[in-house]
A and B are shown apart, each in its own frame.
Chain A
Amino acid sequence: MNSNFYHDLALIKKDDKQFEAYKSMANTVIIAGPGSGKTRVLSLKAMALSKIHIHEPSGLACISFSRESVRELESRLKSYGYVSNKRDFIGTVHGFSLVHVIQPFAHLYPQYQVKYPIKIIDSENQQKIYNTVLQEMGVKDPKELPLIALNRCRALSLEGMSGVTINSTKIIQQAASRFEELLIESEYLDFTSIINLSATLIREQEFVRKSLGSKFPWLLVDEYQDLGKPLHEMVLELTFNAGIKLYAVGDVNQSIYGFTGGYPDFLEELKNNDDINLVELEANYRSSPHIIEASLGTLQLKSPLPNYSSKNFTDEAADFVFVTCKEDMDDQYRTVSQKIIPKLIEKGVSLNEIGIIVGSNQNAVEMAQSLQRNEIPFFIAKWNFENSDVLIWLQKCAKWCVEREQISFEELFHFWKKLLYMHKDDRRFLPDIELKVKLHKVLTKSATKTIVFDWCVFLIDQLNIRQTLADSELYPDEIKNIDILLDEARLRNLKDAKLSRFANLRTPNNEVTISTRHSCKGLEFEVVIMLGMEDGKFPYYLHKDDEIALAEDSRLCYVCVSRAKKTCILLYSSIYNVYSHKYNKHYRYDQSPSPFWSILHQNFGTNDNTFSQDSFQ
């Protein structure tokens, strides 16, 4: 523990709720609204547990939903002087299930039919199984029976202690169980089966619970609302049947991954459990009072509304702007690039403080192209490639090349060595030092390549990464993922980009951020620009009759608006042109604004802040 730790500890002592959350030594669930400083509280807690309360050979388990929040937690812990060790686990729920449940225990219980070596299914084989299911069920249009719905159903069908039931339709249930059968027949596991299997092992096998209980006296879970039923079951089992202390952090209102099975109900269940200490962090250190009010407004929450108070602003007027564009997304992109951003720059807003939130990856790419044409530097929070372990490692390698002191070579080496071992690459038999020299030389040489594409090609080639990853059992889609990266670097948004861009892929450098709605979680900006605020697009028209999905879209909107510290700019286009392949025909139709827009406009719209594309200035 270093001075950063004590500094942050002093900070949270000023907020009774935060300090209460930090001090709690019982099973605890923390409900943390936007901007409530939950990462700080969680990191301090993790540090204190690991340094003071957990003793060798036990360790600390920290589980989160996304790699991004794992990364954030890790970097915060590092700043407190935490040095990673073999006893602790900090990672995703998939990682935990694989490394600490399935690998050490599944072989003891043949009844679960786990095949060795453990292979994770690649997208092609997964598609094959899915197609077989569709075929057998006589479904022609995959939209009627999306894979994601099958997986959600598989996750929800796990039985256990929880009283939450969320039903799927008969046909989905049928398809899901067929899918499950086919998967068990195959030699593979998929992400859903990894977590389901691990939850089952924990539920059914006392020895597994006991071992985990001695290994990890504390279990910290971040982003609880996104983690779904299997994790919830694991947590209940471990907390109530294995004596592990639970420290869960989440926000029911920021639950936006229901389509994967991450419903807010599970967190709600923890919240209402009398044996778990509840702390609600209510202060908002990010946004102005109006933004808080507005974001809660769009949410159309069931009462009682959280009593959030703004700690950052006193009575600054809310800054909402409503811009109606003429036709299609193109007009929105153009208005943002040519009018809104220049205006913000004029007002002295730095580019880092502007976030553009769009509806899809495709929209993000188009927005980027528009910014590029107008020479506005931008940064994409969500890329086409997945930020896999291998790609994060590549980014760290790039960072070593451009800012050497920031990255430990030893860490880079250990990942590479692990990769060689996992993939039975022959080079794993070489002495460590020889491999180290090899990596060091290649990295040193690669630093002379300043363009992302050249650098990636050189590194991947010199280290034979393709050969290593060929037929990977654990990273089945990694080569494809690398190809997407190379494609991005050769032709698209990383074309001709400097290596430093790739090295700092996760942080804007005087650049406007472009994000999808889902990936904006955890970010914050002075100004948020929300595009595609049309009825039918947001909320999605297929969600109209689905109460649960609709509520999730509301929460998604809440998440987007609450990213803003001061200003929220909304755009929609009143006319859309679409081409239908089915009827080989162009359609042109009038478009009404999203209900979210309407509510916000009702509450905050005035003549002064409502514009058309032409009148905006």
Chain B
Amino acid sequence: MTNQYNPYISRVQIKNFRNFLDLDVKLDHKQVVLGENNVGKTNFLRAIQLILDRDFSDQDRTLTEKDFHDSLEDPMINGDEIEITIQIRGYEHSNKLLAQFDDAAVDSDPPTLQFRYKFFPERNDKEQIVRYTYAIYKGNGENKKFSHDDRNYINIHVIKALRDVERDLRAGKGSTLYQLVKTYDISKEDLEEISAEMQDAADKILELDEIVHIKEALQSRFNTLSGLQADTEISLQTFDVDTERLLYALQVYMGLEKRPISELSLGLANILYISLMLLLLKDRTVTPVLKDERYAELEALEGSGVLAESYEKSESGKFILKDQIAPEQYKALYEFMDENNYKFQAFTILAVEEPEAHLHPLLQRLIYREVLHKSGTSVIFTSHSTFITSVSPLNYIVHIRKVGDGSQAFSTVELGLSDWDKKDIERYVDAKRGEIYFGKLIILVEGIAEEYIIPAAADKLGTPFDDYGVIVCNVNSTNFKPYIQLLETLEIPWVLFTDGDYYRKVTLTVDGKIKTTREYHRMHEDGDVVGYAGKENVGGILLDLGIIVDIPDSFSDQDDIFKANGCFVGEYTMEVDMFKKMDANGLGTIKKIYKELTNGGARKLKNFNNALDGEDYWGALSKIEASISKGRFAQRLASEMTVDMIPGYVSEGIAEAIKIVKEQYE
């Protein structure tokens, strides 16, 4: 069905509130807020609720000393203030919002509203603090106050992590389903007709012989007891079918067996609840079902041509909105209805804390796909589920993390990646279950061998990655650039390891033409004209991203500047660099592993050992690739690692990574 996108929060600024000392983050229409426990995901929502939640009382909005950021000493004696500013975009399609929030506009391109909450000291004319109070302002300045009436038009609904969905789903006046039904404005006559029929049907019970017998027995017993008192005739009735009760008695059942909610798994009930919420929060400016009289009224108005194209008459004579409507037509229809069909319309932003609660991973993914891609309601999720992050579009991520004293949020809204790169990373993130978002530092590597060896090296060096929250991401190529962009945007620190890919330039004469080619996979010899494909790649990326402005000529200067920017480049390829560094002991280990993993004969082993002993490391590596595979080999080597085996650039890079994490958290 065609959707109208509801307004959304496009920016949040928080000062001095709980986890947040000074936060400024841009948001999109759908937003997944990630972060470890205790960094302030819930407080981030709470900040927004202070302004937008209709269920908050005056008392809820009046903060206390505890609500100030911990780093502030005696905040309410020193006159510190808590300030929360949110901006809203995507509202200009609604005349009601334009009129209601004229005073709140702070920008016209794109149209942007601003609301600002302030918890501040009121002072007397001697500038002494008299009391603390809160105020919410619209727009710039402090002359226009935000009122509860404003909250009727834009607000937020938070579904908490600990929720009792069963209660909300159960039939009754408070049920979500009933609220949804009420938005449809069902005609009283229709209901009365049905209730009369139900009454008739139920009355048939009274004609059952058994019931008649009961009635008579009762009557005769009663008569003997009450003597001659008048008007004591007993009659039996079924029930009085209240029309309204017909509606709130509606319940959802599931499956062929029509299981009631109470028998559903918590997970399914959650899905059901969130689906109902999303339906409830849909923009109803375009009414999905119109009664015939109303349709006729609207049809008589100017510009109503769009109605006929958009509605079809149902069998009962009502007009039902068609499923498929072209976007331009929907826009015209929306404008027409917004202008002529006055309906109260609240625009609610839905926030769901930990939607993964009680959900099977597969269902988590499904619900996310549904909501993030299809819903017209603006939704904010908070989560630490990797299943959810892994299906989040790249631009919808807000990452909350401790930086120094306070928590900071980093968002991907303005991440400038090509569609191809974006798709690549999304697929990667999906496959890796979103782990890239959860590291305190990310190590980018190009292949499976590094993925095994580098954490093992860190263990041997006495700095296990798990202890420091370092995560190794194997991007399976040397296309590091989009990943670096993503990490830089989220301000997640990173370190990169890549092969040097040494080559020699050779000049040949082919058919009388001079050609220069590169020869890889060979060891350095004096007199070679050399280059490093790995360094060229890294230099290009850093230059492109504006991280460095110039690449020095000498290779050692290049190494210095790369390292200073977190890039550690080897010489040949990692295994070769390792072999080259090993003593006889180390090489012995390699030979042992080779032996264990191949089922070849003595001759094959001898050839391999000869290659190693003869310093033909490339030859040895190609034998490993041919009969074991680099991955399997690295996996085994990882468990037999010793410090001596670790190539210089790897140990340097690990040390740097650990240093960064330590600095960040001290």
User: Hey, what's the 0/1 contact readout for B109-135 against A, CB within 8 Å counting as 1?
Assistant: 000000000000011110100100000
Shortest CB-to-CB span from B161 to chain A, Å, is 34
Q: Given A48-B125, A83-B145, is A439 in contact with B103 using a C-beta cutoff of 8 Å?
A: no
Shortest CB-to-CB span from B470 to chain A, Å, is 49
Q: Given A410-B102, A433-B344, A441-B95, is A52 in contact with B144 using a C-beta cutoff of 8 Å?
A: no
A side interface size, CB within 8 A: 25
**With contacts defined as CB atoms under 8 Å apart, how many contacts are there between chain A and chain B in the complex?**
55
Please tell me if A408 contacts chain B, counting CB pairs below 8 Å. Answer: yes
Q: A436-B96, A436-B100, A437-B95 are in contact. List 9 more A-B contacts (CB 8 A).
A: A6-B127, A51-B122, A51-B124, A52-B125, A409-B103, A431-B344, A440-B95, A440-B98, A441-B95
Chain B, interface residues (CB within 8 Å), range: 20 to 34
Please tell me if B239 contacts chain A, counting CB pairs below 8 Å. Answer: no
Please tell me if B342 contacts chain A, counting CB pairs below 8 Å. Answer: yes
Chain A residues in contact with chain B, CB under 8 A? Answer: 1-2, 5-6, 9, 44, 48, 51-52, 78, 81, 83, 405, 408-410, 431-434, 436-437, 439-441
Please tell me if B584 contacts chain A, counting CB pairs below 8 Å. Answer: no
Q: How far is the CA of A433 from the CA of B149 in the complex (A)?
A: 10
User: By CB atoms of chain B within 10 A, which of A9, A408, A439 has the most?
Assistant: A408
Q: How far is the CA of A2 from the CA of B99 in the complex (A)?
A: 29
Shortest CB-to-CB span from B343 to chain A, Å, is 10
Shortest CB-to-CB span from B598 to chain A, Å, is 78
Q: Given A78-B143, A83-B145, is A433 in contact with B96 using a C-beta cutoff of 8 Å?
A: yes
Q: Given A437-B95, A440-B95, is A410 in contact with B125 using a C-beta cutoff of 8 Å?
A: no
B99 A1 Cβ-Cβ under 8 A: no
Chain A residues within 8 Å of B98, by CB: 437, 440
Partner of A408 from B99, B100, B143, B344 at Cβ < 8 Å: B143
Chain B residues within 8 Å of A434, by CB: 342
Shortest CB-to-CB span from B434 to chain A, Å, is 42
Q: Identify the closest chain B residue to A84 (Cβ).
A: B143
Chain B residues within 8 Å of A51, by CB: 122, 124
CB pairs A–B below 8 angstroms (30 shown): A1-B122, A2-B142, A5-B125, A6-B127, A9-B125, A44-B125, A48-B125, A51-B122, A51-B124, A52-B124, A52-B125, A52-B130, A81-B142, A83-B145, A405-B139, A405-B140, A408-B143, A409-B99, A410-B103, A410-B144, A431-B342, A433-B100, A433-B153, A433-B344, A434-B342, A436-B99, A437-B99, A440-B98, A440-B99, A441-B99
Q: How far is the CA of A48 from the CA of B127 in the complex (A)?
A: 11
Q: How far is the CA of A441 from the CA of B95 in the complex (A)?
A: 8
Chain B residues within 8 Å of A6, by CB: 127
Shortest CB-to-CB span from A80 to chain B, Å, is 11
Shortest CB-to-CB span from B141 to chain A, Å, is 9
Chain A residues within 8 Å of B153, by CB: 433
Q: Identify the closest chain A residue to B137 (Cβ).
A: A83
Shortest CB-to-CB span from A395 to chain B, Å, is 18
6 pairs of A and B residues whose beta carbons are closest in the complex:
A409-B102, A440-B99, A436-B99, A437-B99, A437-B95, A52-B124
Q: How far is the CA of A9 from the CA of B96 in the complex (A)?
A: 42
Q: Which of B135-159 contact A (CB under 8 A)?
A: 139-140, 142-145, 149, 153
Shortest CB-to-CB span from B148 to chain A, Å, is 13
Shortest CB-to-CB span from A435 to chain B, Å, is 9
B130 A408 Cβ-Cβ under 8 A: no
Chain A residues within 8 Å of B122, by CB: 1, 51
Q: Identify the closest chain A residue to B147 (Cβ).
A: A410
Q: How far is the CA of A2 from the CA of B81 in the complex (A)?
A: 14
Q: Identify the closest chain A residue to B127 (Cβ).
A: A6
Q: How far is the CA of A436 from the CA of B342 in the complex (A)?
A: 12
Chain A residues within 8 Å of B342, by CB: 431, 433-434
Chain B residues within 8 Å of A1, by CB: 122-123, 125
Q: Identify the closest chain B residue to A443 (Cβ).
A: B102
Chain A residues within 8 Å of B99, by CB: 409, 433, 436-437, 439-441
Chain A residues within 8 Å of B124, by CB: 48, 51-52
Chain B residues within 8 Å of A52, by CB: 124-125, 130
User: Hey, what's the 0/1 contact readout for B47-80 against A, CB within 8 Å counting as 1?
Assistant: 0000000000000000000000000000000000
Chain A residues within 8 Å of B144, by CB: 408, 410
Shortest CB-to-CB span from B185 to chain A, Å, is 15
Shortest CB-to-CB span from B315 to chain A, Å, is 33
Q: How far is the CA of A441 from the CA of B366 in the complex (A)?
A: 43
Shortest CB-to-CB span from A417 to chain B, Å, is 13
Q: How far is the CA of A526 from the CA of B650 in the complex (A)?
A: 80
Q: How far is the CA of A6 from the CA of B124 in the complex (A)?
A: 10
Q: How far is the CA of A408 from the CA of B124 in the complex (A)?
A: 28
Q: How far is the CA of A2 from the CA of B123 in the complex (A)?
A: 9
Q: How far is the CA of A44 from the CA of B125 in the complex (A)?
A: 9
Chain A residues within 8 Å of B149, by CB: 432
Q: Identify the closest chain B residue to A412 (Cβ).
A: B102
Chain B residues within 8 Å of A441, by CB: 95, 99
Chain B residues within 8 Å of A440, by CB: 95, 98-99, 102
Q: How far is the CA of A51 from the CA of B96 in the complex (A)?
A: 35
Q: How far is the CA of A1 from the CA of B139 in the complex (A)?
A: 19
Q: How far is the CA of A562 from the CA of B38 in the complex (A)?
A: 68
Q: Identify the closest chain A residue to B152 (Cβ).
A: A433
Q: How far is the CA of A235 from the CA of B96 in the complex (A)?
A: 46
Q: How far is the CA of A48 from the CA of B145 in the complex (A)?
A: 21
User: By CB atoms of chain B within 10 A, which of A48, A405, A410 has the most?
Assistant: A410
Shortest CB-to-CB span from A454 to chain B, Å, is 23
Shortest CB-to-CB span from B208 to chain A, Å, is 52
User: Hey, what's the 0/1 contact readout for B145-189 against A, CB within 8 Å counting as 1?
Assistant: 100010001000000000000000000000000000000000000
Shortest CB-to-CB span from A86 to chain B, Å, is 12
Chain B residues within 8 Å of A439, by CB: 99
Q: Identify the closest chain A residue to B150 (Cβ).
A: A410
Q: Identify the closest chain B residue to A78 (Cβ).
A: B143
Chain A residues within 8 Å of B123, by CB: 1
Chain A residues within 8 Å of B139, by CB: 405
Chain B residues within 8 Å of A2, by CB: 142
Q: How far is the CA of A1 from the CA of B103 in the complex (A)?
A: 22
Q: How far is the CA of A539 from the CA of B99 in the complex (A)?
A: 54
